[in-house]
Amino acid sequence: MLKSYMILSIILFSIGVVGLISRRNIIVIYMSIELLLNAVNLSLIAISADLGESSGQIISLIIIAIAASEAALFMALFVVLFRNRGSLDANLFDILGEKHD
Amino acid sequence: MTDAQLLNVLLLAPLLNALLMFVINFSFKNVKQFIYTFFALLGSGVSAIVAIYIAFINYSEHKLLVSHLFTWLDISNFSVEVSLRADALGSFMILFVAPVSFLIHIYATGYMDKDKSYGRFFIYFNLFVFFMLLLVLADNPILMFIGWEGVGLISYALIGFYIEDVKNTYAGNKAFILNRVGDFGFLSALMLLFVMIGDLGFSFDAIFAHLIGVDSSLLSFIALLLFVGAMGKSAQIPLFVWLPDAMAGPTPVSALIHAATMVTAGVYMVARFAPLYNMAVDVSLFIAYIGAFSALFAAIVATRQYDIKKILAYSTMSQLGFMFMALGVGAYSTALFHMFTHAFFKALLFMGAGVIIVAFHHKQDIRELRGIRYSVPFVFLMMFIASLTISAIPPFSAFFSKDAIMSTLFASGHFDIFIMALVASLLTAFYMFRMVFVLFFSEKYQEVTQKSSKTMFYPMGILTLLTLFSGFWNLPEIFGGNLNISHWLHLADKSATLSHETEFLLMLGNTLLIVGVIYYAYKKYAYADGIEQEKQIDFLTNKFYIDEIYHVLIVKPLGFVSLFFDKTISAFLIDKSINNLAFLYGKLGKLFSRIENGNVRFYALYILFGVVFGFIYLYLLLGAFL
């Protein structure tokens, strides 16, 4: 039973990673991050249930709480980014890197 | 005062006064001249009085005075102490170094009167006294080396004292660089000594006590290296070329540093290491030969010099050669006795030259200075006495000292050295009286253009008295004396005795020959135009072209090598390789910076790679256990 939960968790995580890397829309990137978090949550809960021990479930509850507050921050961030560039294309926000050419 | 306090006062008085004058010179403009005069004379005067007192204590009570100031280095069982000791040799040295310095300080206040760098001059002069006393009183070779370098530094600063003329600066550089060659020898010798016996203590006493343990050929090598240091400082062949050029400095400097005190440091050093030289007999003989060649060479060159100070400079080199001859045959106290009398008469001669130079428009050529006997009668009298003294006419001081050297050389059995010394001594009489007769014995009359101040004459008077009478202190047995100085110094002299008849005959012969030479010089130069008729032997006037030979043999190749390194090795090999390396890293950096493009999604990808590789690694690692 644990095995199928873990496989589901890995599938969710992989989808999240692919989304994070391949999509340009920042909102979709955010959703991918949430997907990653929840994949981890799922595996935590599954392992915790399997071991008959509650700490994993508590950790995942905390993670959900943090993800909620994070969501509020991200919303604010989207607004600011959009005001600055008029777009939410992640490729536009590359001022960290050195400019070539 | 206790012994230690006496020594500290002796050493620190000139240093503190020099520092004080430096602060004054640095902080205020237009300082009244008498302030510097006061401090300069205070510093050197206090040290002169204390030095005489210390020497008196040591002489009368045979008491070793020691002052331990502080420990400089303390590394496990090796320590370098900054401590002073006045044994017989040290007290004997300060006995003439400090008072002669004081007298020349007094003289210099007159000579440097109204000079715009009056303060700077006396800062150097007082510092010189400090370093010279440190050199003489040092308890270990390392402290001695500090004094040694210090006097070299002051010598450099004072040769180039008139910095307006670049030639003086070159002369200073020449002195400094040539002394560097000598110092290299000195320092190498110290290092060798340290490696061999340094862990048993490094004071002079400890070194001499453990010399037995050193391999004899190595000991000779150390002795030779030490003598290279002495060659540099005491202007012996082949490191002498700086001394004639050093006359570019003010005349009191020539009198104090380049005649009476600093140049004798080499002689002092060899005498200080007497136990070492007694064990290295072959090196001692080498020293004697170098001394003989130097004495002869300098005397020959001096016979065709026209600059009054250059004549005296070569004379100094020649007299130092005499001292080294005596050291070489193991007659250490004889050499020191000659150093003692030499300090007085040579300082006197230089002071006389200084008065003449000031009085007659800064002319230094003896041909232009003819006929000044009645314009500067006192100077004539003093220089005449000093010339008689240096020519070893009895009963003046140098007669006793030089005769002691001659008889030791004769007794040592090295007749080649003796003959060279004899010829050098006759030439000494010749060139000194050539100078005296040309300067003072002529029908011409020259008016003094600038009156010298009285302060210049008092110290000259005192030095004249010392020149006349200091020799009686070390009267040999043949005259009913008992060699006070030699007994006091109690050095490791190798005595070779001569019967009284032989010694007397030798003395008589010497003196007669010298009188004959003086008569010849009188016929040739006094009231005659011998000096104008002198054939210009370029070979001699140009001092055997030694400077030019050194230039071709040493300076040119060194310059060539430096240029080669500068233009070829440095520019192509080193600069190019370093530049290319920098270029390579620049390129690499550019390449890698493309990874960091600022696009967050790529960073996420890198993290993914990192995690994947991390997992693979962990899997392989843990897989081994599974």
Q: Between chains, do A29 and B601 touch, taking CB under 8 Å as contact?
A: yes
| Contact residues, chain B, for A97 at CB < 8 Å | 596-599
Which domains does chain A carry? 7-84 (1.10.287.3510)
**pLDDT tens-digit map of A20-76:** 888 889 999 999 999 999 999 999 999 999 999 889 999 999 999 999 999 999 999
Handedness of CA B349, B353, B354, B359 (dihedral sign): positive
CA-closest candidate to residue B321, choices B470, B220, B185, B424 = B424
Q: Which two tokens stand for residue B316?
A: 């100094």
Name the phi and psi angles at B115, rounded to 5. Answer: -75, 145
From B620's Cα to the closest Cα of chain A, the distance in A is 20
Q: Give a three-class secondary structure readout of B156-173.
A: HHHHCCCCCCHHHHHHHH
**Chain A residue whose CA is closest to B592:** A98
Contact indicator for B277, B327 with CB cutoff of 8 Å: yes
CA distance B519 to B437: 11
Q: Between chains, do B608 and A17 touch, taking CB under 8 Å as contact?
A: yes
Q: Could you tell me which residue, B54 or B498, shows the higher pLDDT?
A: B54
Hey, is the C-beta of B444 within 8 angstroms of any chain A C-beta? no
DSSP string, B237-302: TTS-THHHHGGGS-HHHHHIIIIISGGGHHHHHHHHTHHHHHH-HHHHHHHHHHHHHHHHHHHHHH
A94, A99, A101, best to mutate vs chain B, most B CBs in 10 Å: A94
Q: Between chains, do A21 and B605 touch, taking CB under 8 Å as contact?
A: yes
Bridge partners, B70 (sequence order): B82
- Give the per-residue pLDDT at B566: 86
CA distance A95 to B344: 85
Nearest to B599 among A17, A20, A94 (CB): A94
Please report which confidence band the pLDDT of residue B541 belongs to, taking 50, 70 and 90 as the band edges. Answer: low
Please report which confidence band the pLDDT of residue B625 belongs to, taking 50, 70 and 90 as the band edges. Answer: low
Q: Calculate mean pLDDT across residues B483-491.
A: 78
**Chain A residue whose CA is closest to B602:** A21
**Chain B residue whose CA is closest to A33:** B604
Q: Between chains, do B596 and A93 touch, taking CB under 8 Å as contact?
A: no
| Contact residues, chain A, for B598 at CB < 8 Å | 93-98
CA distance B519 to B514: 9
Q: Between chains, do A90 and B608 touch, taking CB under 8 Å as contact?
A: no
Contact indicator for B303, B427 with CB cutoff of 8 Å: yes
Residue recorded with tokens 């300098």: B298
Residue type, B160: G
CA distance B413 to B329: 9
pLDDT for B389 beyond 70: yes
- Give the per-residue pLDDT at B414: 85
B30: left (phi over 0), alpha (psi -120 to 50) or beta: left
Q: What ipTM did this prediction achieve?
A: 0.77
Q: Give a three-class secondary structure readout of B447-514.
A: CCCCCCCHHHHHHHHHHHHHHHHHHHHHCCHHHCCCCHHHHHHCCCCCCCCCCHHHHHHHHHHHHHHH
- Give the per-residue pLDDT at B591: 86
Name the phi and psi angles at B185, rounded to 5. Answer: -65, -50
Lowest pLDDT segment from B255-269, B455-469, B477-491, B559-573:
B477-491
**Chain A residue whose CA is closest to B598:** A97
Please report which confidence band the pLDDT of residue B372 belongs to, taking 50, 70 and 90 as the band edges. Answer: confident
**Chain A residue whose CA is closest to B609:** A17
CA-closest candidate to residue B106, choices B40, B48, B177 = B40
CA distance B564 to B571: 10
Please report which confidence band the pLDDT of residue B445 belongs to, taking 50, 70 and 90 as the band edges. Answer: confident
Contact indicator for B389, B373 with CB cutoff of 8 Å: no
| Contact residues, chain A, for B612 at CB < 8 Å | none
A→B contacts (Cβ < 8 Å), by residue, are 17, 20-22, 24, 29, 90-91, 93-98, 100
Hey, is the C-beta of B604 within 8 angstroms of any chain A C-beta? yes
Residues 6+ apart with CB under 8 A from B618: none
CA distance B572 to B578: 10
- Give the per-residue pLDDT at B538: 65
| Contact residues, chain A, for B611 at CB < 8 Å | none
From B22's Cα to the closest Cα of chain A, the distance in A is 57
Please report which confidence band the pLDDT of residue B227 belongs to, taking 50, 70 and 90 as the band edges. Answer: very high
Nearest to B604 among A21, A93, A94 (CB): A21
Hey, is the C-beta of B623 within 8 angstroms of any chain A C-beta? no
For residue B3, the SS3 value is: helix
B596, B600, B608, best to mutate vs chain A, most A CBs in 10 Å: B600
Q: Could you tell me which residue, B213 or A69, shows the higher pLDDT?
A: A69
pLDDT for B245 beyond 80: yes
DSSP string, A88-99: -BGGG--TTSPP
- Give the per-residue pLDDT at B422: 92
Give the residue extent of every domain in chain B.
280-541, 553-623
Nearest to B599 among A17, A20, A91 (CB): A91
Residues in chain B: 626
Contact indicator for B226, B96 with CB cutoff of 8 Å: no
From B599's Cα to the closest Cα of chain A, the distance in A is 5
CB contacts under 8 A, B 583-602 vs A, are 593-594, 596-601
Q: What is the pTM of this model?
A: 0.78
| Contact residues, chain B, for A20 at CB < 8 Å | 601, 604
Nearest to B596 among A17, A22, A97 (CB): A97
pLDDT for B449 beyond 80: no
Residues in chain A: 101
| Contact residues, chain A, for B605 at CB < 8 Å | 21
| Contact residues, chain B, for A95 at CB < 8 Å | 598
From B600's Cα to the closest Cα of chain A, the distance in A is 7
- Give the per-residue pLDDT at B624: 64
Contact indicator for B340, B284 with CB cutoff of 8 Å: no
Contact indicator for B320, B267 with CB cutoff of 8 Å: yes
pLDDT for A100 beyond 60: no
Dihedral angle at the C-alpha atoms of A20, A21, A25, A29, nearest 10 degrees? 10
**Chain B residue whose CA is closest to A24:** B601
**Chain B residue whose CA is closest to A14:** B608
Q: How many A-B residue pairs are in contact by the CB < 8 A criterion?
A: 36
Residues 6+ apart with CB under 8 A from B110: B452, B453, B454, B455, B456
Nearest to A20 among B596, B598, B604 (CB): B604
Please report which confidence band the pLDDT of residue B342 belongs to, taking 50, 70 and 90 as the band edges. Answer: very high
**pLDDT tens-digit map of B100-127:** 999 999 999 988 888 888 889 999 999 9
Q: Calculate mean pLDDT across residues B402-427.
A: 90
Q: Between chains, do A21 and B601 touch, taking CB under 8 Å as contact?
A: yes
CA distance B76 to B55: 36
Lowest pLDDT segment from B114-128, B280-294, B437-451:
B437-451
**Chain A residue whose CA is closest to B596:** A97
CA distance B454 to B198: 53
Q: Between chains, do B596 and A96 touch, taking CB under 8 Å as contact?
A: yes
From A93's Cα to the closest Cα of chain B, the distance in A is 7
CA distance A16 to A28: 10
Q: Between chains, do A96 and B598 touch, taking CB under 8 Å as contact?
A: yes
